[in-house]
Amino acid sequence: MSAPASAGGRSAQLQHTGMRHGWTTGACATAATTAAYTALLTGDFPDPVGITLPKGQTPAFALAAERLEADGRSAMAGIVKDAGDDPDVTHGALVRATVRLLPPGSGVVFRAGPGVGTVTRPGLPLEVGEPAINPVPRSMMRDHVAEVAARHGGTGDVEIEVSVDHGEEIARSTWNPRLGILGGISILGTTGIVVPYSCSAWIDSIRRGVDVARAAGRRHVAGCTGSTSEKVAVAVHGLPEDALLDMGDFAGAVLKYIRRHPVDRLTIAGGFAKLSKLAAGHLDLHSSRSQVNKEFLAQLARHGGADEALAAAVTCANTGLEALQLCAARGVPLGDLVAAAAREEALGVLRGAPVAVDVLCIDRAGTIVGRADARGPRGG
């Protein structure tokens, strides 16, 4: 199991709720990669092995498996994923990284080992044929390989094969098969930390966030689905930290509480796919309780000028992102249409409360792909 070397800001919030945070598969794969590559260069596996997460936390992980090949060109390390108090299907899974030396100039190459899926359909943040190792975990692994190489005299040219024991079986309990990720689970995580999913605790923290903002005299707050959308809301509106609400999937909780405790303005910021669920009338945006409705997106696209061929393509899209890309290529502002529809749904929940609402839809990179201000889409 893993043990944190330092707690960090969000961990303190979780301690207040009595919940224990965990680590993503991406963090585990990064720790395993760091240990394996260190062993290749030094002959010894660091145990525990420490890494640095994107927001600066420095957890350390105990090794559950290790192997250094006799030829000295390949090493494997394994970490047991600890999801904390989150009901994560990958909790307890053994995440392995096998690192192999490559010729100078090869760079870092990623491979899907047993139990890690391969992308077979478009619309995901990875190309078809790529191992299902998401961009942030890849970046984390590259950074740590570079650090180990600099410390111990390596070139940093390696192949990293990530595998997960029983990952193919675990993946059957996820949306991977429906998304066209076949052969196993995805290696995920944008912060490295798993926040325990607790409706009552999370909703309570949302309410307290509104209370704190109002007490500080904030007249404009932002409900954000994650850290990337928080950054966008800050960049667009210049909001201070105490005006940011960690909404997560609980759009309804934010709207209902602000209905009873109004502020002058509410910004709703989040990923396009999540906010398309709000636009379709869902107040709980979690993937286990609401799904992106492609037929709804197709209807919005028609309102934006899409012909039937494009509408049919949107209906058959693999993901919301693919639907957005199809429309963008044809000049149909699906992002703005989703933002406007999400704003209307939010106003309906507010039931006439004196709150101006604007919506920011973003993609995975944090680019604004749809916007509706307090008067309508893009000020119209």
Q: Are strands 158-164 and 108-112 parallel, antiparallel or unpaired?
A: parallel
What per-residue confidence (pLDDT) applies to 6?
A: 29
Q: Are residues 137 and 211 in the same domain?
A: no
Give dist(CA 224, CA 247) in Å, integer. Answer: 5
Identify the domain boundary among 194, 226, 257. 194
Give dist(CA 335, CA 163) in Å, integer. Answer: 36
pLDDT in tens, 186-220: 998 888 887 665 566 578 778 888 988 998 899 99
Domain membership of residue 236 as a residue range? 199-377
Q: Are residues 173 and 204 in the same domain?
A: no
Q: Which residues contact 41 (CB under 8 A, 6 or more apart)?
A: 148, 149, 152, 153, 154
pLDDT in tens, 284-316: 887 667 789 999 999 999 999 999 999 999 999
For residues 102-130, one letter each, b for 16 or more C-beta atoms within 10 angstroms of the residue's C-beta and e for the rest, the string is beeeeebebebbebbbbbbebbbebeeeb
Q: Are residues 46 and 179 in the same domain?
A: yes
Q: Are residues 91 and 16 in the same domain?
A: yes
pLDDT in tens, 60-107: 999 999 999 999 999 999 999 998 877 678 889 999 999 999 999 999
Count the domains in the chain.
Answer: 2
| Partner residues linked to 271 by β-bridges | 362
Average pLDDT, the chain: 89
The residue whose two tokens read 């290696």 is: 187
Q: Which of 2 and 19 is assigned the larger pLDDT?
A: 19
Identify the domain boundary among 156, 175, 194. 194
- Kindly report whether the peptide bond that precedes residue 48 is cis, defined as omega within 30 degrees of 0: yes
Q: Are residues 243 and 285 in the same domain?
A: yes
- List, as own/partner pairs, every contact residues 207-215 make where C-beta atoms lie below 8 angstroms and the sequence separation is at least 24, other chains included: 207/253, 207/257, 209/244, 209/245, 209/246, 210/245, 210/254, 210/257, 210/258, 210/261, 210/263, 211/261, 212/242, 213/242, 213/243, 213/245, 213/263, 214/261, 214/263
Q: Are residues 57 and 183 in the same domain?
A: yes
Q: Are residues 175 and 213 in the same domain?
A: no
Q: Which residues contact 283 (CB under 8 A, 6 or more apart)?
A: 250, 251, 252, 255, 349
Q: Are residues 188 and 213 in the same domain?
A: no
Q: Are residues 271 and 365 in the same domain?
A: yes
Residue 187 maps to which CATH number?
Answer: 3.30.2110.10
Q: Are residues 52 and 104 in the same domain?
A: yes
Q: Are residues 297 and 354 in the same domain?
A: yes
| Partner residues linked to 101 by β-bridges | 158
Identify the domain boundary among 141, 174, 194. 194
Would the pTM of this model clear 0.75, i.e. be above it? no
The CA–CA distances, whole Å, from 297 to 293, 336, 360 equal 6, 12, 17
Give residue 44's pLDDT band: very low, low, confident or very high (50, 70, 90).
very high
Q: Are residues 168 and 218 in the same domain?
A: no
